[in-house]
Amino acid sequence: MTRIGAVARTTPMRAGLIGLATQVLFIPALIVLAIVMAVTIVGLPFVAIVIPLAVVTMCAAMLLGFTSLAHTLGQAIGRRAGWATDTAVWGVVLGMTVIVLPTILSRLAGMAPESARAVTMTLLVVGTAVEYAAWTIGLGAAVMTGLGKWAVVPPPLPPDVVADAPSAL
């Protein structure tokens, strides 16, 4: 979760573009995969397994990316405000609250009289845009890191491995 959040924080535009491309190309790629697997005799039995697995993986990537982005945002807001946001749960709750706040405010403003309809619609559009951007950037960051498995920069070697390495003659 930390790696995905770090990628979303450092390269949000790239993560957003990759997330958008993933959303746009997911269904066509799934259809092509199903057709190719159905044409081959060996792949035909696996179509019923691969398609649901791909959909579940996409949903998991979106949820993991959104949660990681919310955690990173919550930690940053907590540090800036001087709050103790040491736990991951506190960071996720704070980040999700900030991301969803415009939508919640639009729902509350929807209970106001008809004269406040412009405010309600503006908050709803802003809230929807903020949530969509968070989901897209989170998905892109999750895809960029291989669901958190790949590091952007390779981890450093431990000192004992470097010392025990044979020297080149």
pLDDT along the chain (169 residues), means of 10: 84 93 95 90 86 93 92 88 78 91 88 83 92 94 79 56 52
Q: Give the pLDDT confidence score for residue 163 in this predicted structure.
A: 52
Write the DSSP string, 4-45. HHHHHHH-HHHHHHHHHHHHHHHHHHHHHHHHHHHHSTTTGG
Q: Give the pLDDT confidence score for residue 4 in this predicted structure.
A: 86
Determine the Cα–Cα distance for residues 169 and 152; give it in Å rounded to an integer: 32
Q: Give the pLDDT confidence score for residue 164 in this predicted structure.
A: 53
Could you tell me which residues come within 8 angstroms of residue 150 by beta carbon, excluding any fewer than 6 positions away? 3, 144
Q: Give the pLDDT confidence score for residue 26 in this predicted structure.
A: 95
